[in-house]
Every structure is written in C-alpha cells, then in structure tokens.
Amino acid sequence: MNSDLLNELKEAGVKLVAVSKTIPEEIILDLYHLGHLDFGENKVQELVRKYENLPKDIKWHMIGHLQKNKVKYIAAFVQMIHSVDSFELLEVIQKEAQKYGRIIDILLEVRIAREMTKYGLDKTGLYLLLDKYTKGDFNHVRICGLMGMASFTADETIIHQEFGLLSEFFIDIKSAYFPFAYYFNEISMGMSSDYQIAIQHGATMVRIGSLIFGARNQALKN
Ligand SMILES: *Cc1c(COP(=O)(O)O)cnc(C)c1O
C-alpha cells in the first residue's frame, strides 16, 4: 500500500474507498491487516462472495451499476451504495433494508461526464427523484450525498468542469432538500487518474483501485 497516497488523503481529510474489483481476497486481506476497512466493488456476485469469505468488519461499498433485482443480495450488509440512479431503485432499497431492520446509506449517482455514459441521473432526473423522495416515507434509506465520474480524458479542463458541476449540485441540493441533515455530507468523486482534481472540488470520498493494487487484468477490466 502506497503510504504517500494514504498521507495525502489523510491531510486532505478525504476518505479512501479501496476499489478491490477483480482483486483476489488474499490481497484485500493484506490491506485489511494494515488497518484499512473500506472497500468498493462494482459487481453484486463478487461483492457477496468477498463479504462471505473476508472479515466481517470490512465496510463494503457498492460502486457499480445496481439492478433492482439484486439489491436483496447485499441489503443485509452493504455499508453504502454509491450508485443509486433511479427512484425505483431507491424504493427497492427501502423495501429490502426494512426486511433487515437496517437504514442503508446511499449516494445519488449523477451523470456529469460529457462523454456518453449509460448510468447516472441527469439534472432533471436528479431533482425529480428528490421531489418524489421528500413526499415519500423513506425511513430505511438515508441519502448521504452524490457520486459522479468524470470523462475519461487527458484534458484536465474538462475534468475540472465536471467535478465542479457535481460540487455545485451538491451545494444546491443540500440547501434545497437537506439543510438540517448532518448526514448529507458526502461527495464521492475521483479515481486513480483524477482524484487530485476531485479533492480540489471538495470530494469527501475517493474511489481508488489501480493506484493501490496495480493495473487490473485487461480481460477482467471494466
Ligand atoms: C473501477 C472503479 C473505480 C476505480 O478506478 P481506478 O481507475 O482503478 O482507480 C472507481 N469508481 C468506479 C465506479 C469504478 O468502477
């Protein structure tokens, strides 16, 4: 584990989610034994397998696209779902969390990248979801903030614009919907290639994989 990275994030007051997708359990354990507890996965099946095989005090973050019919597999243990991108998904999380008597922390995934990406709410969808949420009774989910991914580009100007946009959404939404909610305080943005830019724009959590674990196997990469 890169201790420069850890120090840098600590100084910035930013939480690290170590993205362990495709990474073998023994290697996750090495990091766990150094005291790191927050790990992120993007596939339900792999997340469940690792949860079952690894120490139970690991905090598992679901960071990839989540299908409604798979929420039930992770609802009992997931620490935070970063990738909520529809009202219907929010409803399913509420229902599944209720079964376990849990309150599940979630982030709303916002599409900030100008490149065509499949997932994430656009501005209209984001505010529509929040309007519906405030009219409902979501006592088993807690919206803790926003998540976003910048374009995959070498042009840092674009990355600055996109993370800046997410940060503006966060401020608007906090004042409009969560002015007194202490828990609405997370902006999950920044990966190996762009986390420093994300921190400049107020990221509170970064999701870093390859910089910690090395490049993933190309065939498994996603
Ligand atoms: C894989 C992944 C990351 C980490 O990417 P790296 O470039 O390896 O740091 C972060 N967020 C999401 C949603 C991912 O799928």
> Which atom of ligand 1 is least distant from the CA of 82?
13
> Which atom of ligand 1 is least distant from the CA of 216?
8
Domains recognised in the chain with CATH numbers: 3-221 (3.20.20.10)
Query: Quick one: 16 exposed, middle or buried, by C-beta within 10 A (0-12, 13-18, 19+)?
Result: buried
Centre a 10 Å sphere on the Cβ of residue 113 and count the other Cβ atoms it contains. Answer: 18
Query: Quick one: 125 exposed, middle or buried, by C-beta within 10 A (0-12, 13-18, 19+)?
Result: middle
Q: Which of 16, 23, 42, 189 has most ligand 1 atoms within 8 Å of its beta carbon, as the pocket-test mutant? A: 42
Answer whether 206's CB lies under 8 Å from 199's CB. Answer: yes
Answer whether 62's CB lies under 8 Å from 87's CB. Answer: no
Distance 157 CA to ligand 1 centre (A): 20
pLDDT above 50 (res 222): no
Distance 134 CA to ligand 1 centre (A): 31
How far is residue 22 from each of residues 101, 107, 121, 211, measured CA to CA in Å?
31, 23, 26, 14
N-terminal to C-terminal alpha carbon distance within the chain: 22
How do residues 173-202 score in pLDDT, each as one tens digit?
Answer: 999 999 999 999 999 999 999 999 999 999
Sign of CA dihedral 66, 68, 73, 76: positive
Distance 141 CA to ligand 1 centre (A): 24
Sign of CA dihedral 193, 197, 39, 169: negative
How do residues 32-86 score in pLDDT, each as one tens digit?
Answer: 999 999 999 999 999 999 999 999 999 999 999 999 999 999 999 999 999 999 9
For the chain, the C-alpha Rg in angstroms (whole number) is: 17
Ligand 1 atom 6 nearest Cα? 209
The band of 1, judged by pLDDT with boundaries at 50, 70 and 90, is low
Residues with CB under 6 A from ligand 1: 19, 21, 42, 63-64, 191-193, 207-211
